[in-house]
Amino acid sequence: MAFEKDLNLDATELRLGLPGTSDESAKNQTLATLRSNNKRALPEESMSSNATASKNCDQETAPLPKAQVVGWPPIRSYRKNNLQPKKSEGEISGIYVKVSMDGAPYLRKIDLKVFKGYPELLKALEDMFKFKAGEYSEREGYNGSEFVPTYEDKDGDWMLVGDVPWEMFTNSCKKLRIMKGSEARGLGCVD
């Protein structure tokens, strides 16, 4: 294959303007200025010399270290992630428990670690399932509410959310269930 060694730009007559147009503003920008203004330094080069493009641009993008070129090599993120061994449950920080609500067709899951205490948890549950739990009191539980948050603990017992200290709760809660108020009567009452 014989290609000319020097590629004569004049011969190809590249113009700035679109074919058939004679755009004055386009003609004013010469080849030379454009090349020197717009030749952007590639990441590797920019480490050794300042980018010439910075002359005309107020902002100079910081040179990227070689190892961190975005999107290179071109591998999809799920592939990169899949090369890691599957983490066992214990290693994932976060206490995920299922949440069900009587009458709702879908289960949800929440991370108890995200909340600092009961008020936050209840607010999140109320937002998620669109209900109001009402006021909690130690003596009467969630008196008068249509829906009551309960949980199943390590022993398999169903308890009222709020009865035990928060840390004890997050350590022992296996799943949450938002029960109809009528069914919840009897929970949390110690006879």
Which CB sits closer to other proteins, 39 or 174?
Answer: 39
Q: Does 90 bind other proteins (CB under 8 A)?
A: no
CA distances from 73 to 68, 119, 156 (A): 10, 47, 50
For other proteins, the binding residues in 58-77 under the rule CB under 8 A are 58-59, 67, 69-77
| CA–CA dist 104, 187 (Å, integer) | 21
| CA–CA dist 8, 174 (Å, integer) | 75
Nearest approach in angstroms of CB 65 to other proteins is 12
| Options 55-63, 116-124, 141-149, 158-166: segment touching other proteins (CB under 8 A) | 55-63
Which of 2, 11, 18, 32 binds other proteins (CB under 8 A)? It is 18
Query: Smallest Cα–Cα separation from 186: which of 141, 152, 134, 147?
Result: 141
Q: Does 50 bind other proteins (CB under 8 A)?
A: no
Q: Does 182 bind other proteins (CB under 8 A)?
A: no
Helices (runs of H) and strands (runs of E) counted in the chain: 8, 5
Q: Does 2 bind other proteins (CB under 8 A)?
A: no
Which of 2, 3, 49, 139 binds other proteins (CB under 8 A)? It is 3
Specify whether the CB–CB gap between 137 and 188 falls below 8 A.
Answer: no
